[in-house]
Amino acid sequence: MATVPATSEGALPPRRAQTFWGRLQAGEELARLIAVTAGGAIFIITALVFYELVSQSALSRHQFGWHFLVTSTWDPVAGNFGALPFIYGTIITSVLSLLIAIPLGVGAAVFLAEMAPIGISNSLTFLIELLAAVPSVIFGVLGVFVLIPILRSDVVPFLKAVFGDLPIFAGAFYGVSVFSAAIVLSLMIVPFIVSVSREVLLTVPSDQREGAMALGSTKWQTTWKVVMPFASKGIMGSVFLALARALGETMAVTMVIGNTPQIKASLLAPGYSIAAVIANEFAEATGDLYQSALIELGLVLFGVTFVLNGLARIMILTAGRKGAH
Q: Which of residues 239-258 bind another protein (CB under 8 A)?
A: 244, 247-251, 255
Q: Which is nearer to another protein, 8 or 153 (CB)?
A: 8
Name residue 274's beta-bridge partners: none
Site for another protein in 105-164 (CB under 8 A): 105-108, 110-112, 114-116, 124, 126-131, 133-142, 144-146
Smallest gap from Cβ 167 to another protein, in A, equals 28
Cα angle: 62, vertex 64, 69; to 5 degrees: 125
Q: How far apart are CA 106 and CA 109, in angstroms?
A: 5
Buried b (16+ CB within 10 A) or exposed e, 158-195: ebbeeeeeeebbbeebebbbbbbbbbbbbbbbbbbbbb
84-110 and 178-202 helices, crossing angle to 10°: 40
Count residues contacting another protein (CB under 8 A)? 94
Q: What is the contact mask toward another protein in residues 76 to 105, using x (rule: CB under 8 A)?
A: ---------------------------xxx
Does 226 participate in binding another protein (rule CB under 8 A)? no
What part of residues 58-77 is at the interface with another protein (CB under 8 A)?
Answer: none
Closer by beta carbon to another protein, 99 or else 130: 130
Among 56, 80, 232, 260, binds another protein (CB under 8 A): 56
**For the residues of 178-207, what is the DSSP string, one character each?**
HHHHHHHHHHHHHHHHHHHHHHHHHTS-HH
- Tell me how far, at minimum, the Cβ of 33 lies from another protein, in Å: 10
Among 72, 213, 302, 311, binds another protein (CB under 8 A): 302
Q: Which among 123, 93, 86, 62 has a CA at the least distance from the CA of 275?
A: 86
Q: How far is the CB of 283 from another protein (least distance, A)?
A: 5
SS3 percent helix, strand, coil of the chain, rounded to 5, is 75, 0, 25
CB of 298 to another protein, least distance (A): 5
- Residue 165 CB, nearest approach to another protein (Å): 29
Q: From 2-10, 67-75, 156-164, 199-207, give the range in contact with another protein by CB under 8 A.
A: 2-10
- Cβ neighbour number for residue 77 with a 10 Å cutoff: 7
Stretch that binds another protein, among 37-45, 91-99, 155-163, 204-212 (CB under 8 A): 37-45
Query: Who contacts 9 (Cβ-Cβ below 8 Å, separation ≥6)?
Result: 26, 27
Choice from 156, 242, 278, 293 touching another protein (CB under 8 A): 278
Residue with Cβ nearer another protein (36 or 69): 36
Least distance from C-beta 47 to another protein, angstroms? 8
Q: Which of 46, 73, 203, 286 binds another protein (CB under 8 A)?
A: 46
**196 burial level (CB within 10 Å; 0-12, 13-18, 19+):** buried
Q: Between residue 14 and residue 33, which ones bind another protein under the rule CB under 8 A?
A: 26-28, 30-32
What is the H or E stretch that residue 147 is in?
A: none
CA–CA distance, 230 with 208 (Å, rounded to integer): 9
Cβ atoms of 247 and 86 closer than 8 Å = no
Is 231 a binder of another protein (CB under 8 A)?
no
